[in-house]
């Protein structure tokens, strides 16, 4: 299955209108002269980030976008009408690259941002523009310049405050269901989540954050194994990562510590910036053991990982410990938001 956060499209700006070849021929004007108007400019193609669009799925259906060309000039010095600008709506968080060169053209991070991706052609000159003291009756005119053509690679990166990180079936989807209104698919087999799901977590009046449920990673994800780097990139814009670890994995040969280290290794391979991002340890499925055993096992995992940051023991399925977790996240995000102001 191809994920719909990547798409390739072709854009073509409108051509400039043809300049006019015309001469005045009124009876009352003895020496007439050239009066051909210029052609109108072609319309440009713009991308505009809009809220409410969550995927690039529409670009798999329509792949070519053309702006209108300018109209030709006419006599009496009339300039042709310019072609209308074409605005194409894309999701907030879309990164735009030139497919041929790989150059990044822009990053539409906020709603309302616009990016010109193809310049409309300039209208051709009418023969009036060629008039001179030595050329009183010019028959030259401009044909109008062609509009710019481009192949674009669009890539959508999820914009969220918190990203859930972990192996398949670690309980990420269950957690986002427990603390928000998002309803991602939950099942007892790997890779039930095939695309990022966003949920708004409310912690009180004017206190909320966006959580992203990222599809599960496996060892080798940075090289494309499993669902690969298509989803690692979504974690780059988050403020904090919640690394979820299943303390009672179904596979009897699984080791939570070894698996957690493998995920950290994938982060380092993919991006140094991602590897140093704040990352909290969330030990899940405490409901599968008595409290004292779950707490003892959690302490042992933290000790073996030599982990010094914040860690939480929760049950996403039963909702135990989730309120304390989201409150701690909310306080951390509020502190981060206050730093630029200070």
Angle between helices 256-270 and 291-305 (to 10 degrees): 40
For residue 120, give every residue at least 6 positions away whose Cβ sits within 8 Å of its Cβ, in sequence order, or none. Answer: 13, 14, 15, 16, 41, 42, 43, 44, 67, 70, 82, 83, 85, 147, 148
pLDDT band at 211 (very low <50, low <70, confident <90, very high): confident
For the ranges 23-32, 152-161, 253-262, the one whose mean pLDDT is highest: 253-262
Asked if residue 241 lies in contact with residue 163, where contact means CB atoms within 8 angstroms, the answer is: yes
Q: Residue 189 pLDDT more than 70?
A: no
Residues present in the chain in total = 342
Q: Residue 4 pLDDT more than 60?
A: no
What's the fold here for domain 6-156? Spo0b-associated Gtp-binding Protein; Chain: A, (2.70.210)
pLDDT band at 161 (very low <50, low <70, confident <90, very high): confident
Rounded Cα–Cα distance for residues 224 and 243 (Å) = 20
Quote the pLDDT of residue 184: 52
Show the DSSP H helices in the chain as ranges. 172-179, 229-232, 256-270, 272-275, 291-305, 322-341
> In this predicted model, which residue has the larger pLDDT, 255 or 205?
255
Rounded Cα–Cα distance for residues 278 and 155 (Å) = 24
- Tell whether domain 162-341 is in CATH 3.40.640.10: no
The tokens for 245 are 């670890």
pLDDT band at 298 (very low <50, low <70, confident <90, very high): very high
Rounded Cα–Cα distance for residues 244 and 253 (Å) = 19
3-state secondary structure of 82: coil
Residues 318, 324, 330, 332, CA torsion sign:
negative
Quote the pLDDT of residue 85: 96
Quote the pLDDT of residue 220: 42
- Average pLDDT on 41-58 reads 86
Task: Report the predicted TM-score, pTM, of the whole model to 2 decimal places.
Answer: 0.60
All structural domains of the chain with their residue ranges: 6-156, 162-341
Task: Report DSSP letters for 257-314, one per residue.
Answer: HHHHHHHHHHHHHH-HHHHTS-EEEEEE-GGGS-HHHHHHHHHHHHHHHT--S-EEE-
Q: Residue 191 pLDDT more than 50?
A: no
In the chain, pLDDT over 90 holds for what percent of residues?
47
Quote the pLDDT of residue 109: 85
Q: Residue 63 pLDDT more than 50?
A: yes
Q: Residue 213 pLDDT more than 90?
A: no
Quote the pLDDT of residue 98: 95
């Amino acid at each position: 299955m191809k994920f719909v956060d990547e798409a390739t499209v072709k854009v073509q700006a409108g051509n400039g209108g043809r300049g006019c070849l015309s001469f005045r021929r009124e009876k009352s004007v003895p020496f007439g002269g050239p009066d051909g108007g210029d052609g109108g400019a072609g319309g440009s193609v713009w991308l505009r980030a809009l809220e409410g669009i969550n995927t690039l799925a529409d670009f798999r259906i329509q792949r070519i976008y053309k702006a209108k060309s300018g109209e030709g000039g006419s006599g009496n010095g009339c300039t042709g009408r310019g072609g209308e600008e074409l605005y194409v709506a894309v999701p907030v968080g879309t990164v735009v690259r030139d497919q041929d060169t790989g150059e990044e053209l822009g990053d539409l991070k906020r709603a309302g941002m616009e990016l010109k991706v193809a310049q409309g052609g300039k209208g051709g000159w009418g023969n009036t523009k060629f008039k001179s003291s030595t050329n009183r009756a010019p028959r030259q005119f401009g044909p109008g310049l062609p509009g710019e053509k481009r192949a674009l690679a669009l890539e959508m990166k999820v914009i969220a405050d918190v990203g859930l990180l972990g192996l398949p079936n670690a309980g990420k989807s269950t957690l986002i269901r427990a603390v928000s209104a998002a309803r991602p698919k939950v099942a007892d087999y790997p890779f039930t989540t095939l695309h990022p799901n966003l949920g708004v977590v409310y912690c009180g009046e004017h206190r909320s954050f966006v959580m992203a449920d990222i599809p599960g990673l496996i060892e080798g994800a940075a090289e494309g194994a499993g669902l690969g780097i298509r989803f690692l990139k979504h974690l780059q814009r988050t403020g904090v990562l919640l690394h979820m670890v299943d303390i009672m994995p179904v596979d009897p040969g699984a080791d939570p510590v070894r698996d957690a280290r493998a995920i950290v290794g994938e982060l380092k391979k993919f991006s140094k910036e991602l590897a140093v991002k704040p990352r909290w340890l969330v030990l899940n499925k405490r409901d599968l053991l008595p409290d004292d055993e779950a707490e003892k096992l959690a302490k042992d995992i933290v000790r073996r990982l030599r982990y010094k940051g914040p860690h939480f023991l929760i049950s996403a399925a039963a909702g135990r410990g989730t309120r304390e977790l989201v409150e701690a996240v909310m306080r951390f995000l509020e502190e981060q938001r206050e730093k630029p102001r200070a």
